[in-house]
Structure 1
Amino acid sequence: MKLFFLTISFTLALLSTSYPQALNTKKLDSLFNMLQRHGLANGSVAVSLNGKIVYQRAIGFTALDNNKKIAPDINTKYRIGSVSKMFTTVMIFQLIGEGKLHLQDKLATYFPQLPNAGKITIKDMLYHRSGLHDYTHDTNFPDWMDKHKTHEELLQIIASKGADFEPGAKADYCNSNYLLLSYIIEKIDQVTYAVALEKRITTKLGLTHTNYGKPIDISRNESASYKYGDSAWARQKETDVSIHCGAGSIVSTPGDLVKFIQQLFTGRLINHASLDSMKTMIDGYGMGMFPYDFNSIKGYGHYGRVEEFYSALTYYPEKKLAVCYITNGILYPRSDIVDGIQKICFNENYTIPYSQKPVLNSTGLTKYVGEYSGNLPFKVICKTDNNQLIFDAAGKTMEAEPLNPDYFMNARTGTFFAFDPEKGSLQIKETDNVYFLKKK
């Protein structure tokens, strides 16, 4: 009898450490209600636990039509940018499992005209260690991003830039690697990437809201992307999907993406040995994924950006927890939203902005006053005027209202200020940019 109770106790202990507590959906709602109420965010979120979606929410707008906001729902599709690279990696490992490709195969087998093609392996490209130049850098990319490009034209752009370093010498994130990997999938399967994606992943998993992108059509419940500035949203130029292929041309929903990554980790798409290879990190890079640990809990996934779409997909195998957030336009910092979602999922302390909005006077603001400098080409002066926090920077002056203790916002410009008075530090956040400054 004693042994029986010891066994039960041990089993319960294992269960308690293997699974997170029940998800605090009310607190997630509080976070997204606040963002919606104040017009601070656009996007969609999904959380999966033990293989089941337990939370979904969509807020903001998918498009502005004569200042009329078109609201999203949980099935609204977004461009996911570089999260596409996880799908491409899975298909590469499927081909390896079928004996049609090997990690040590050379790029020269497929594209001998490219720099160092005889030295670069499939493994090098998966790990971003090829040394090839990124076709989106130093190529006037913003001028032609909305123009159709053939495979041959993009191959010529890559070839014309030469090599940045010798294969294997280091890791350097490069879209060219995954563009070429998607072309290799097409060559081996003898179908387009879109067909390969459907055949190998989306149909198999029942991902009904995931596909290779097309020109954005709001009537198909697809979202356009917007940039915020001067109290207004401006629609952004649309990237032609021919340009990124498997490096960034997939559209999806958070709900489909948490299903995808959860099924990837259960062995539904590739075997566990291949998954272990994807998870093996070299210089902080995995193959098609990156480490996104939460405290001591290991996490894996990928983030992405195309235009003003930003996506974040992470899976925590120990907790069987998948989290995805996608936005089509940033006002409240994306990193803060993702951080808030994760803290709520892991039952960490987290204060919803505006829930403890401080009432400050000039005395309470004194701890922030001073001159700050850091990774900006100018100094930032923080001062007070009539119980208001004022910032002077680069010849401009802006006021800031408190959201939480030590956290302020200028709503007109979409600039956020996070202080740590004890350390004398200041973070300035604009869209996905974070600048770190110290007080003199």
Structure 2
Amino acid sequence: MIKKIIIIPFLFIGFGITAQNFNKTKLDSLFTVIDQNNKGMGSISIFQNGKEVYVNSIGYADIENEIKSNKNTKYRIGSITKTFTATLIMQLVDEKKLSLDTYLSTYFPEVPNASKITIEHLLRHRSGLFNLTEDEDFLTWMILPNTREQMLGRLVKRKVNFEPGAKTRYSNTNYLLLSYIAEEIEDKTYAEILYARITKPLGLKRTAYGKKINSKNNEALSYVLQEDNWNVVKNETHMSVPIGAGAIVSTPTELNVFYKNLFSGRLVTKISLDKMIDISKGMGMGLSGETFFNKQAYGHNGGIDGFQSLTLYLPEEKIAVSYIGNGVVMSPNSIIINVLDSYYNNNYQLPKFEKALKFTTEDLDQYLGVYVSESFPFQITITKENTVLIADAKDGPTFPLKGYSNHKFISDRAGAALFFHPTKNEMVLELNGNKVNFKRK
């Protein structure tokens, strides 16, 4: 199944410990376990103080032709592209070719509310514009070449979701328009701008505007796991659809090089970087942010077709971590949490993959309801779809749960475990090493 390009804000909770001596063997063991249990295919890279200290790949770039993935395999990175696009826009701002206060109507007056929407609104997902990847016919036209006129034509027919600046709501449309604006200013294609301003100066050889996947060029196909078999995703998103919202291909190593240079001040001015990492209104510019190890982490995740990815950077620690999966069961968020737990914690235990239990729809009734906590930022509503339990975090992600013994449910996608105590109307959420108690209303 083709997945829309989406973002789920990532949550990182500090473990309250300091770095130990690096142990490559532990990380190798982690990825061996993931590989042997069919929980993922992809590549990982860790940078510390500007140097790569770990890299690994599991699975295949092309199963049919028995092409294994390696550190140079190129993957579609989805919405991590937005960090690149935001960087390009801020370079134009630094050069006085554009202003954050410039209105969208300067370039595309036909777009709804264009006279009220600024460049900053677009960068921070505060424009109120309809998200084109939520179009009811998206799965039909996403695999076809699309012109700018076609994309704008779909947008102008849509009503706005809210007035500019009123709230923050993720919309790929914002970064599609930023791509077009950059093209207008530079009189070049997005691919040419990306090459001239980022990939060439940084010497990135495997980061580029994507094309149709060719596994013979060490480009990964994407897969979904069905009945313990990896099946290739046959319908590829045509890159004329996402452009600067999700069209870049790269490797984890080169994503870390990009982030390292972004945060070292090589790509934008300090003033611009400070604006990019300002998350006071919910999102930064091409970046999301959470605390990790009691320190601030910034990054972005991505999903396109069967690919899922996550890059994060801890400025104070000067650590960059990137994982890109072309076959995903265990989410990139969950994998990176395990990677860093292993990296920093001598007592780290490898994940154990138990066999999920089967339930009747009546079995699940004891868990349903709305759960709240004094120490967690949003309530969690537990519902069901037939024999599957669903967790819906208000203002956060929705994810299905697999059930195990002792009222234990796990989400591989979110990297979370939920322990229910139905008779006490209580639930414990275990997320990224932190346990939070909830009461059922």
TM-score (norm 1): 0.80
Confirm or deny: 8 A CA contact 2:408 2:419 kept in the other structure.
no
Instruction: Name the counterpart of 2:63.
Output: 64
Partners of 1:332 and 1:69 in 2: CA distance? 22
Confirm or deny: 8 A CA contact 2:122 2:174 kept in the other structure.
yes
Confirm or deny: 8 A CA contact 1:407 1:416 kept in the other structure.
no
Which amino acid letter does the alignment assign opposite residue 30 of structure 1?
Answer: S
Alignment of 1:410-429 (within 5 A): 418-420=417-419, 425=427
Corresponding residue SS for 2:321: strand
Q: CA deviation at 1:271?
A: 1.1
Partners of 1:203 and 1:52 in 2: CA distance? 19
Which amino acid letter does the alignment assign opposite residue 41 of structure 1?
Answer: G
Instruction: Name the counterpart of 1:212.
Output: 209
Confirm or deny: 8 A CA contact 2:410 2:418 kept in the other structure.
no
Structure 1 residues 22 and 205 mapped into 2: Cα distance closer, same or farther (>3 Å)? farther
Q: Which stretches in structure 2 are left out of the alignment for 5+ residues?
A: 1-15, 356-362, 369-380, 390-401, 432-436
Which amino acid letter does the alignment assign opposite residue 158 of structure 1?
Answer: L
Q: CA deviation at 1:308?
A: 1.4
Percent of residue pairs identical: 40
Alignment of 1:188-207 (within 5 A): 188-207=185-204
Structure 1 residues 272 and 228 mapped into 2: Cα distance closer, same or farther (>3 Å)? same
Confirm or deny: 8 A CA contact 2:367 2:382 kept in the other structure.
no
Please give the per-residue CA displacement for 1:207-226, whole angstroms capped at 9, x wherever unaligned.
Answer: 11100000000011011111
Which amino acid letter does the alignment assign opposite residue 93 of structure 1?
Answer: M
Please give the per-residue CA displacement for 1:158-217, whole angstroms capped at 9, x wherever unaligned.
Answer: 111121111111000000000000111111111100010000000111111100000000
Instruction: Name the counterpart of 2:53.
Output: 54
Of the three residues 298, 301, 310, the one matched with 1:300 is 298
Structure 1 residues 291 and 399 mapped into 2: Cα distance closer, same or farther (>3 Å)? closer
Q: How many residues align?
A: 385
Q: CA deviation at 1:409?
A: 8.5
Confirm or deny: 8 A CA contact 1:408 1:416 kept in the other structure.
no
Confirm or deny: 8 A CA contact 1:371 1:439 kept in the other structure.
no
Structure showing greater relative contact order (alpha-carbon pairs closer than 8 Å, 6 or more residues apart): 2
Structure 1 residues 408 and 28 mapped into 2: Cα distance closer, same or farther (>3 Å)? farther
Corresponding residue SS for 2:117: coil
Please give the per-residue CA displacement for 1:250-296, whole angstroms capped at 9, x wherever unaligned.
Answer: 00000000010011000010111110010111332101100032141
Instruction: Name the counterpart of 2:147.
Output: 150
Partners of 2:264 and 2:346 in 1: CA distance? 27
Structure 1 residues 283 and 380 mapped into 2: Cα distance closer, same or farther (>3 Å)? farther
Q: CA deviation at 1:351?
A: 1.6
Corresponding residue SS for 1:186: helix
Corresponding residue SS for 1:240: coil
Corresponding residue SS for 1:223: coil
Confirm or deny: 8 A CA contact 2:73 2:220 kept in the other structure.
yes
Instruction: Name the counterpart of 1:38.
Output: 37
Instruction: Name the counterpart of 1:3.
Output: none
Q: CA deviation at 1:63?
A: 2.0
Which amino acid letter does the alignment assign opposite residue 57 of structure 1?
Answer: N
Alignment of 1:122-161 (within 5 A): 122-161=119-158
Instruction: Name the counterpart of 1:365.
Output: none
Q: CA deviation at 1:353?
A: 1.9
Please give the per-residue CA displacement for 1:303-360, whole angstroms capped at 9, x wherever unaligned.
Answer: 11111111100000110000001101112343321210122233375320249x89xx
Structure 1 residues 156 and 428 mapped into 2: Cα distance closer, same or farther (>3 Å)? farther
Of the three residues 271, 277, 286, the one matched with 2:284 is 286
Corresponding residue SS for 1:207: coil
The answer to whether the aligner puts 1:100 opposite 2:105 as a matched pair is: no
Instruction: Name the counterpart of 2:237.
Output: 239
Please give the per-residue CA displacement for 1:71-114, whole angstroms capped at 9, x wherever unaligned.
Answer: 10000010000000000011101111111000000101110110
Instruction: Identify which range, 210-219 or 226-235, moves more after superposition.
Output: 226-235
Q: CA deviation at 1:228?
A: 1.3
Which amino acid letter does the alignment assign opposite residue 129 of structure 1?
Answer: R
Corresponding residue SS for 1:292: strand
Partners of 1:97 and 1:38 in 2: CA distance? 48
Instruction: Name the counterpart of 1:176.
Output: 173
Structure 1 residues 47 and 428 mapped into 2: Cα distance closer, same or farther (>3 Å)? closer
Of the three residues 371, 383, 393, the one matched with 1:376 is 383
Confirm or deny: 8 A CA contact 2:90 2:268 kept in the other structure.
yes
Structure 1 residues 220 and 346 mapped into 2: Cα distance closer, same or farther (>3 Å)? same
Structure 1 residues 277 and 38 mapped into 2: Cα distance closer, same or farther (>3 Å)? same
Structure 1 residues 289 and 410 mapped into 2: Cα distance closer, same or farther (>3 Å)? closer
Task: Say what the alpha-carbon RMSD is for the aligned residues.
Answer: 3.3
The answer to whether the aligner puts 1:271 opposite 2:266 as a matched pair is: no
Partners of 1:437 and 1:69 in 2: CA distance? 47
Corresponding residue SS for 1:209: coil
Of the three residues 333, 345, 359, the one matched with 1:335 is 333
Confirm or deny: 8 A CA contact 1:399 1:410 kept in the other structure.
no
Corresponding residue SS for 2:34: helix
Please give the per-residue CA displacement for 1:57-78, whole angstroms capped at 9, x wherever unaligned.
Answer: 000111221xx64210000010
Q: Which stretches in structure 1 are left out of the alignment for 5+ residues?
A: 1-16, 359-367, 383-397, 430-435
Corresponding residue SS for 1:293: strand
- Structure showing greater Rg: 1
Which amino acid letter does the alignment assign opposite residue 144 of structure 1?
Answer: W
Which amino acid letter does the alignment assign opposite residue 255 of structure 1?
Answer: T
Q: CA deviation at 1:46?
A: 0.2
Confirm or deny: 8 A CA contact 1:372 1:380 kept in the other structure.
no
Q: CA deviation at 1:378?
A: 4.3
Structure 1 residues 181 and 381 mapped into 2: Cα distance closer, same or farther (>3 Å)? closer
Confirm or deny: 8 A CA contact 2:277 2:287 kept in the other structure.
yes
Corresponding residue SS for 1:100: coil
Instruction: Name the counterpart of 1:14.
Output: none
